[in-house]
Chain A
């Protein structure tokens, strides 16, 4: 009996210790839900420079959006930072974002085009929804979307599932738009399927299939494409004509106290300052490969000049509300046996 009592006492001490370590202690300051690689570096720099605490919740885009939707009108966050203005526009329509939080900055042309009329989210950098990553041995890499239907690429193209991978819906929407809109553009996607399109879960799976030679060309978000190509010298990246804008965005929560609102706006301005944008490019790994949307910062050298690309900005008001319908159609027809 004595031994069992000793074990019970040890367990009680462990439980008490665990509770002590896990017990919430201090005010969290700004709470940043981040799904971008550079989130932790910017949060640390902000705290160091301003003394304002930033508690980071680092999650995938899907989990971030699920959390925000479930929290609804009682948000536990102060700021959101993720890729995808279509998703941000949908949150805005649901009344989950504060209005007029966009700072006055020296925006470039693309940046200005991405700012919503009600200022509900700030575009913080531009990536592209669909970049082609391929093996250097590929004789004639495609330059536009129609080329993916060529017999040379039969069974060789892979992409992520838009119903699971957050950044893929803008890609699917873009493909549909360039092929005539909705529902006319369905024909193009079905032709891709007929040409042996492979659909994987997420970027990691699609790019692993490319490296393993299972497919010859991966269509992924540009930031992941450049980052993978920088790690595997046998891979190359090509931006198709047209490419579809997939900006990263910061949003502030509605109903913040004036003090917290001011701190949130300060964070947004800080994140867009030239010095911090350079930090984002250096420490941002995959996500650091973005084109700046302000005139005072240069793009990373690895990226082609934005002016040399044909970038289409999708209308969030048009494509946002269709997400459910488009994804359901993709699952039913493209993923069907």
Chain B
């Protein structure tokens, strides 16, 4: 009877997972196999398209940017979770602004900054228009991921573990090393996400890289897509390199997660209020915030604001497509909700029993993350433009493609926070006769609410500004914000573009604020000693 009940309860989750696996597997595998399908090889081979230079550059740039983002992210997260500092909320705001500002807007802002006569030909411009500039911008975009991932671990490691380490480990060095080991799963999860995001990024390397002539794999893929008719087989062959790199990153994460992860949130956990910053720590934190706000927000943002305030010559000819804000909000709400709904059962199932299915799903979903958006969009278009699956041109396919990109990110991002929560908390409630629904809503729900809400907001912000998939799959007459921004940019309507961009950033802030407020209202969990209103 119990087995039947458990099976019945797991059916919706299983259905969701299999649906996702199908929707993810089919288009991507079909696309990646294009070069090998009979009669379509056309003289293409791995050796023919492989460029050692491009591959080396892609890996080096992704590694450099990921490592600096990780180091800075762990330090910032330490201040958030282990110190009381008045600038924490402002820092979080700055990180959110960096996270939601699309890379194409940030890069353009910096480029225009360096067209100012005072900066155009100085040493700073020389540094920016070099590999260092690409690494800096990629790392900056990855920083919010790294901070959020590290915060979870710093919070649950807590002062109790520090005290325990002081009691049991004599050497101060070993003590610190032991505590740092507990950060490894989070660091590895952030590493996998930022690294994979960076190897498939095109906007930043194409904009800066084109000026410094730095060949990378995504550039080679875009070359294949710039010919007419588009060479999808060549693009697919090149995409295998990115998938391979993503698999390597995931293996790194799996290794650290399997070896060093532990359930640190349990019934006996007590949260000790963090101490205030020392004078030196406060000075360093202020300097960090100043740098982050200046380089990540003020410089590129000032350009957007100045452009938005400049007069528009002929508004009637090209009005700002404000309706794109509505469409993007709807697409992003649906896609982020669906992505979290799919990631949640996978992660919970993985925590309870990491079977082959969840591992397989994890591995498959990596390909979606590693493929550049335009390639993925084309894969979905080709797969779902048939009599059997006529989804192309509908909002549904666009949302499915968004979900397929966001789920892998969420699986990696949320894995550590879920593993940190001890299953015994729910088991204890079960032993005390608490019903399944009450356990989900009263025990698991409040504990998981925060990480999942953060995951939802990240997915929302990414989908809201998504560009390459949207351009290929958006349903006629309902353009999302990314498409509208590019449309304005290409027709040289910078003022309208800047106004729409600012409004879009405001919308994401309003939605994020509303959701945070709603979740605090619904699940006001606070462990003993934890400061009220802790945002994550």
A→B interface (CB under 8 Å): 1, 3-7, 10-11, 14-15, 18-19, 21-24, 28, 31, 37, 55-60, 62-63, 65-72, 74, 76, 84, 86-87, 90-91, 94, 96, 161-164, 166, 169, 198-205, 207-209, 211-214, 224, 227-228, 231, 283, 285-287, 320, 323-324, 327-328, 331, 335-337
**0 or 1 for each of B214-244: is its CB under 8 Å from A? (1 = yes):** 1100010011011111111000000000000
A-B pairs with beta carbons under 8 A, tally = 190
Are B491 and A66 neighbours in the complex by a CB distance under 8 Å? Answer: no
Measured in the bound complex, the distance between the Cα atoms of B477 and A57 in whole Å is 6
Q: Pick the 6 closest A-B CB pairs, nearest first.
A: A212-B115, A69-B230, A22-B395, A63-B471, A90-B228, A87-B228
B224 (CB) vs chain A CBs: closest residue: A324
How far, in whole Å, are A69 and B385 apart by their CA atoms in the complex?
12
Contacting pair B487 A58 (CB below 8 A): yes
In the complex, which range does the number of interface residues on chain B fall in?
Answer: 35 or more
| Selected A-B contacts with CB under 8 Å, 23 pairs | A1-B442, A4-B523, A6-B522, A15-B334, A22-B327, A31-B476, A37-B491, A55-B476, A56-B476, A58-B479, A59-B471, A62-B226, A63-B374, A72-B385, A74-B385, A164-B222, A198-B211, A204-B108, A204-B489, A214-B120, A331-B215, A331-B223, A336-B215
Which A residues are in CB contact (< 8 Å) with B213?
199, 335-337
Please state if A3 and B116 are interface contacts (CB–CB under 8 Å): no
Q: Is the CB of A200 within 8 A of B210?
A: yes
A65/B229 in contact, CB under 8 A? yes
Contact partners of A5 in chain B: CB under 8 A: 441
Nearest-neighbour CB distance to chain B for A256, whole angstroms, equals 16
Give the distance in Å from the alpha carbon of A96 to the alpha carbon of B230 in the complex. Answer: 12
A23–B385 CA distance with the chains assembled, in angstroms: 18
- In the complex, residue of chain B having the shortest beta-carbon distance to the beta carbon of A71: B385
Distance to closest chain A CB from B238 (angstroms): 13
Judging by beta carbons under 8 Å apart, are A212 and B386 in contact? no
Q: Chain A CB within 10 Å — which of B227, B330, B385, B519 has the most?
A: B227
In the complex the two chains form, is B228's CB within 8 Å of A76's CB?
A: no
Contact, CB under 8 Å: A59 / B115:
no
A207, B491: Cα distance in complex, Å: 12
Is A208 within 8 A of B111, CB to CB? yes
* Nearest residue, chain B, Cβ from A24: B394
In whole angstroms, what is the CA distance A199 to B327 when docked?
35
- Name the interface residues of B468-495: CB closer than 8 Å to any CB of A: 471-472, 474-479, 483, 486-487, 489-493
Q: Is B117 an interface residue (CB 8 A)?
A: yes
CB–CB B522/A66 < 8 A: no
Determine whether the beta carbon of B381 is less than 8 Å from that of A67: yes
Chain A positions within 8 Å of B112 at CB level: 208, 212
- Asked if B441 and A4 make an inter-chain contact with CB atoms under 8 angstroms apart, the answer reads yes
CA–CA, A327 and B486, complex, Å: 24
| Shortest CB distance B509–A (Å) | 18
Question: Across the interface, do A227 and B523 meet the contact criterion of CB distance under 8 Å?
Answer: no
CB-CB under 8 A from B374, the residues of chain A are 63, 66
B283 within 8 A of A: no
Which of A22, A68, A228 sits near B330, CB closer than 8 Å?
A: A22
Task: State A37–B318 Cα separation when bound (angstroms).
Answer: 9
> Hey, which chain B residues are within 8 Å of A207, CB to CB?
492
| A3 vs B442: C-alpha distance when bound (angstroms) | 10
The residue that A63 contacts in the complex, of B211, B223, B472, B478, with Cβ under 8 A, is B472
- The chain B residue sitting closest to A90, CB to CB, is B228
In the bound assembly, the distance between CA atoms of A70 and B317 in angstroms comes to 32
Complex alpha-carbon distance, A272 and B479, angstroms: 27
Question: Contacting B393 at CB < 8 Å: which of A7, A65, A76?
Answer: A76
Decide: A3 and B487 in contact? CB cutoff 8 A. Answer: no
Q: Do B491 and A62 touch (CB < 8 A)? A: no
B93 within 8 A of A: no
- How long is the Cα–Cα vector from A162 to B333 in the complex, in angstroms? 37
Query: With A4-B441, A198-B211, A203-B492 in contact, do A66 and B230 touch (Cβ < 8 Å)?
Result: yes
Q: Is B313 an interface residue (CB 8 A)?
A: yes
Hey, which chain B residues are within 8 Å of A204, CB to CB?
108, 489-490, 492
How many angstroms between the C-alpha atoms of A325 and B211 in the bound complex?
21
State whether B228 touches A205 (Cβ < 8 A).
Answer: no
Question: With the chains together, A205 CA to B129 CA distance in Å?
Answer: 14
B464 to chain A, nearest CB (A): 14
Q: Please pick, from B117, B206, B214, B491, the residue contacting A286 in the complex, using a CB distance under 8 A.
A: B491
